[in-house]
Amino acid sequence: MSPDSHSPSLSNDNATQLHALYEEMRPQHLYPLWEVLSALVTPTPRAPTVAARWDYDTARAYLLRAGDLISAEKAERRVLILENPGTPGTAGITTSLYAGLQLILPGEIAPCHRHSQCALRFVLEGGGAHTSVDGEKVVMNPFDLVLTPNWQWHDHGNESSKPMIWLDGLDIPTVRHFDASFAEQLGQPAHPETVRPGDSLARYGRNMRPLRGATADRRPAHQPLFHYPYLEWRASLAALAAAETPDPWIGHALEFLNPFDGEAVMPTISAHVRLLPRGFATKPRRSTDGTVFVVVEGQGHARIGSKDFTLSERDVIVAPSWDEVTFQADRELVLFAYSDRTAQEKLGLYREARG
């Protein structure tokens, strides 16, 4: 720990003796709190991460080059990490969450594994490839949200004729924070298919569930649904936008839910979509959940803290905790977003401020 500038003022004599004390204690791994208290317990959040933007076309070109050089099978997951420039070496895009761009080429399989980390996939390009979750394939299309909740077997395959690219959002830094990571390989490329594609969406995706006692539940009870198709969420967002005026700080917004408890999609990750009508500008807002945004449709600008970003389709931007955020829609702007909000709410930490 390095001393901060708010340490108590001391007479020269005391200061000399105190510093001698610090030197003596240091080998015992003992440090004076009073030198660092105000840096540890800050009046407002001080995220080490910074606001940043990743241009999709630039990242895509590098990812396709990687695709020429290493197979999905060899890489296990062929992904470019979107690492926050403020926290090099962490693989985090926020302090608690990770983002990566994953490529699966036609005919490839990213082999089956499972891990403690929760993952979401937000599809950016291609169509017809699949993620298999505990043996159930979900066919992925642009802007679909697909979950792989923790400890569920998953592999990815591409039986289509086009490259498939999606954004991975995982809670890797959160799991690392708790030192709670486990992972294992199935030992075969793909999990045996246990049920027809779309089975969970049919059972749990329409505000229904199998009648208890009549049908055995195949999915874990607390995590029944893992596919939120673009066609469905986009239609809901359009209906919402047609029905009411947008929230001045957020625009029109719908959160993805876990139908089991009506809470966030996974224990550590919340996800939502927003629509900002053409010409609409949000008022400044800050929140403690550093947030990753993906531009789904439209064009506009974001101001995050003191930085301005131009937004084009499929770009990714990140807003650190407590940075003031405003969006301006030059054309109707649709955004996908994920953050650790649900984890912070469970811990009693979440706050937001509307300016």
Burial 118-129, CB ≥16 within 10 A → b, else e: bbbbbbbbbeeb
Of the pair 164, 170, the CB lying nearest ligand GTQ is at: 170
CB of 227 to ligand GTQ, least distance (A): 15
Of the pair 95, 287, the CB lying nearest ligand GTQ is at: 95
Q: Where are the alpha helices (DSSP H) in the chain?
A: 12-25, 37-40, 56-69, 72-75, 172-177, 199-204, 230-243, 341-346
Of the pair 155, 289, the CB lying nearest ligand GTQ is at: 155
Of the pair 77, 301, the CB lying nearest ligand GTQ is at: 77
CB of 184 to ligand GTQ, least distance (A): 11
Identify the burial level of 108 via C-beta atoms within 10 angstroms of its C-beta, where 0-12 means exposed, 13-18 middle and 19 or more buried. Answer: buried
CB of 166 to ligand GTQ, least distance (A): 9
Identify the burial level of 263 via C-beta atoms within 10 angstroms of its C-beta, where 0-12 means exposed, 13-18 middle and 19 or more buried. Answer: middle
CB of 65 to ligand GTQ, least distance (A): 18
Binding site for ligand GTQ (CB under 6 A): 77, 79, 100, 102, 115, 119, 154, 168, 170
Q: What are phi and psi of 272, to 5 degrees?
A: -150, 170
Closest by CA position to 260, among listed 318, 303, 209:
209
Question: DSSP secondary-structure letter at 26?
Answer: G
Q: What are phi and psi of 130, to 5 degrees?
A: -140, 155
CB of 33 to ligand GTQ, least distance (A): 37
